[in-house]
Structure 1
């Protein structure tokens, strides 16, 4: 994916998000209580990129804005939501990895922490799948999670996103 290659390239800051992390981050901002200006979320996703030229700047910005718009339209129109996942290979086996998306989502929640704080306890439980899977990206102590538990958390992601969106946007 061209956008992911750019985000992971030397052109972006070291702490730029990968495309799955960016998708999760943008999802949290869209789902969340208050809109965020595009300049702010663009900077949060890729820092201060060094584009080769104006054409590349326009092309990559358009791709990222389209990603945001697609997530927003999916949620607004009530279509089934699916997190963007990456395939990883370990010991010759390919599997889908959701923890990057969840890490990005939790970064988005953290970005607006003060606005998310009033979230009541029941809707707060909707953050559990993202929080649990995001822990798998930690360099600290790796959580003990077997494959069945991992899959159970993954199955909750679409409903959790839809539930949070419905909570924060119920008056729209």
Structure 2
């Protein structure tokens, strides 16, 4: 493959300036008490959707990310364009083994260290958007749970998930090892659902569950701007 072909096929990910811009927007509009996702959480959410069993449309995941009306149409178009690019880049990065999770940092006595808390929170919410399919398959196929082991370990360690049995906190080395495994985990889970797609019975159960969802008392979230297609 020539250098020009490599450049052409390499995924178009957000550059540092665009990441900072999206990060700033999310931080400005986040409320910690509401559990709003920041950039690492949004990346975790979109990562779960990218490797999951079925497509999840923007109409379904955008309400997990955006919670207030945009200031104007220009702001809305810009934020949605950045989110669309971030979303598209994940699948493209997985295709060429270039995926890296966007992680947060926490301050410690030894200095700032990487934290998977936000990413794991987002990943968990991404799974929740197709909870029926994930939960049934995890229950029926232990191999999928095994593939997700490093993600589960980080999520339990960070308090995102509760462990059924007593769970010892990860050592620093174990934590770092789980972080290092995330790209491979995403690749193998993506391959798993490609090789073992959701069955008709699983999809029928999901469809029936969607049809029974009705919350007339809950007003829709309002936003200006356009949906990403």
Q: Indicate whether the TM-score tops 0.5.
A: yes
Determine if contact 2:144/2:189 at 8 Å carries over to the other structure: yes
- Mapped to 1, the partners of 2:127 and 2:55 lie a distance apart of 12
Q: Find runs of 4+ consecutive structure 1 residues off by over 6 angstroms.
A: 139-142
- Mapped to 2, the partners of 1:140 and 1:164 lie a distance apart of 19
Q: Which residue of 1 aligns with 2:65?
A: 45
Q: How far has the Cα of 1:81 moved from its partner?
A: 1.8
- Mapped to 2, the partners of 1:131 and 1:170 lie a distance apart of 22
Q: Which residue of 1 aligns with 2:75?
A: 56
Determine if contact 1:103/1:137 at 8 Å carries over to the other structure: no
Deviating more after overlay: 138-147 vs 59-68: 138-147
Give the 3-state SS of the residue equivalent to 2:189 in structure 1.
helix
RMSD: 2.5
Q: How far has the Cα of 1:112 moved from its partner?
A: 1.1
Q: How far has the Cα of 1:129 moved from its partner?
A: 1.2
Correspondence for 2:101 among 73, 80, 83: 83
Residues 170 and 78 (structure 1 numbering): CA distance in 2 closer, same or farther, change over 3 Å?
Answer: farther
Residue 148 in 1 paired to residue 166 in 2? no
- Mapped to 1, the partners of 2:72 and 2:157 lie a distance apart of 37
Q: Deviations over 1:2-52 (max 9, x none)?
A: 212211223779332111011011000110000011111111222x32211
Write out aligned runs for 1:105-116 (5 A).
105-116=123-134
Q: Deviations over 1:72-126 (max 9, x none)?
A: 2112x23232111123322260212222212211221122111112242112212
Larger Rg: 2
Aligned residues: 170
Q: Which residue of 2 aligns with 1:170?
A: 195
Residue 131 in 1 paired to residue 152 in 2? yes
The TM-score with structure 1 as length reference comes to 0.86
Correspondence for 2:53 among 23, 33, 38: 33
The TM-score with structure 2 as length reference comes to 0.66
Determine if contact 2:121/2:160 at 8 Å carries over to the other structure: no
Q: How far has the Cα of 1:162 moved from its partner?
A: 0.5
Residue 118 in 1 paired to residue 137 in 2? yes
Unaligned 5+ segments in structure 1 are none
